[in-house]
Homo-oligomer: A and B are copies of this chain.
Amino acid sequence: MGEKVKLFVTWSSPFSLRVIWALRLKGIEYDIVHEDLSNKSSVLVHNDQVICESLVILEYVDETWKHNTLLPEDPYERATARFWARFGDDKVLASIVYGVFVKQGKEQEEGIVASLENLKHLEEELKGKKFFGGKKIGLVDLALGWLAYYLGIFEEIMGLKLVDQQKFPSLAAWIHEFADHPVIRDAWPPRDKLVAKFIAMRETHLSKDGHN
């Protein structure tokens, strides 16, 4: 093949993981370069072409290596998948990380209401399916994959539960299915290192907002 695929990632980044998972699902060999940047953007270099932004990279990977598709073929189903992938970043991740995890008191309470509302939409979308992609992992699963590992870490650090079995049965089941999938489960960063990192991140934010 003579193809060169190189991935620049931050060890703790859930965005980087999306690309690692996509390449693993496709069975593409790659070199990985760890860079501990606070910069969120992952970078894929494929035969000297540079592609940035994890969701953009996922589509590139899917269009370049067409087996084991991440997106369905039908334009409407593709649009739906793209919508949920963006919803995951713009609403779910934003509300949980910036509305709950780095907040406290009344602000956090409001953030929890918004987060649960967003998670309810995911629960509805997932109902009756094993993965967001249906029977197999697709682009939306990769986009939301952080929920299957990082959310539990956030919950543990804060001492509160957002996704419980009773209110979110489909999402709770998906978290187990996804986190334990053979392609996914070996790629998670060390949990203790993530816990330490996110405790520090939370404290930095809370001390900055100390006047609230």
Contacts and interface: CB of A to CB of B under 8 A. Distances in A.
A59 interface: yes
B86 A59 contact: no
A21 to B, nearest CB: 18
A56 B90 CA distance: 14
Interface stretch (A29-37, A74-82, A183-191, A198-206): A74-82
A28 to B, nearest CB: 14
A64 B56 contact: no
Count identical subunits in the complex: 2
Interface string A43-56: 00010010111011
Contacts of A75: 60, 63-64
Which DSSP category, helix, strand, loop or mixed, fits chain A's interface?
helix
A57 interface: yes
Q: How large is the interface on A (under 10, 10 to 19, 20 to 34, 35 or more residues)?
A: 20 to 34
B83 A59 contact: no
A83 B55 CA distance: 9
A76 B53 contact: no
A89 to B, nearest CB: 10
Contact of A83 (B46, B56, B78, B79): B56
Contacts of A56: 79, 82-83, 86
Nearest to A64: B75
A76 B59 contact: no
Given A46-B76, A53-B83, A53-B86, 10 more contacts: A49-B76, A51-B83, A52-B83, A56-B79, A56-B82, A56-B83, A57-B79, A59-B79, A60-B75, A60-B78
